[in-house]
Amino acid sequence: MQIGLAVGDVRGPATLAAVVDQVQVAADSGFATAWASQALGGDALTALAVAGAGADIAVGTAVVPVPQRHPMMLAGQALTVQAAVAGRLTVGVGVGVGAMVSGMFGLSTDRPVQRMREYLTVLGPLLRRETVDYHGEMLTAVGAVMVPGDVPAPSVLLAAMGPRMVRMAGELSDGTVTWMTGPKALADHIVPVITEAAADAGKASPRIVAGLPVCVTDAVGDVRARIAEQFALAAQVPEYRATLDREGVAGPQDVAIVGNDIEVARALARFRDAGVTEFMAAPYGTAEEQNRTIELLAELVRTTEK
């Protein structure tokens, strides 16, 4: 199992310069990928284009919610970033949190699986610079994305938690990326379902990227309390609540990886044993806590490579 590092807003408010620094640290420390999530701050893909162009590391989004971005627009942006980072981009996409998509953008959230199926059906060919002429129930896309260059199409991962979305990730994408999902839900539900779906579709074994807050600390109770407060929304919205229930936990504070060096290493091993191909660590806490966490994770990366 590889270890990647989350950068940007998921670790706290970050300027573009800070994201550039975080990506460089990830590259210098030997992490597999620098992952940026699209929230309500800066644009994740733009930040990765700037930061990834000067750092020798794979980069990816985990994830970009797609309701606000037509696939032709996202394909054009992704191919531009792919050129900037010399072919090292992974595009993680998701349907977004329904309450935010409807409440903030006024967009429909009905039939999310069908919407994503149509989106992925169009996005893949567009990223391969193919012309599409698609008229679906929920999406129309006609034309091609004219981005010059010879870089390959970026890999596409789908944020998936429910059974139908997980199966679709295996069928129509290169794998899945999860957030606030523990090792039990991954081992019992997500990994076997997506692996079977990929095999049925005649595809290679899927990439399975699992993301969680990680904090190396001696003040476990205090850190878990802060995580419970900061990520309280994840315990309330249906998208995450179902996955937390599969894990048998109350909230994000219970799946986050928090503890001393030994406890964190053991927790990561459980994700490896669950079938995760890359763990996306989001260093949590103060600058001192995050630095301590990155130091341990970097040491685990070096140990794994030996």
Contact between 255 and 180 (Cβ < 8 Å): yes
Bridge partners (DSSP) of residue 7 are 36
Is the per-residue pLDDT at 44 higher than 80? Answer: yes
Domain 2-305 has CATH 3.20.20.30: yes
Domain residue spans of the chain: 2-305
What is the per-residue pLDDT across 75-118, written as a single tens digit (0 to 9) for each? Answer: 999 999 999 999 999 999 999 765 666 666 676 767 889 999 99
The single-letter code of the amino acid at 105 is F
Interatomic CA distance for residues 279 and 272, integer angstroms: 8
Q: Tell me the percentage of the chain whose pLDDT exceeds 70.
A: 96
Contact between 283 and 6 (Cβ < 8 Å): yes
- Decide which of 115 and 237 is more confident: 115
Averaged pLDDT for residues 145-160:
93
Mean pLDDT of the chain: 94
Is the per-residue pLDDT at 306 higher than 50? Answer: no
Angle at 53 between CA 48 and CA 57, to 5 degrees: 80
Q: What is the structure's pLDDT at 103?
A: 66
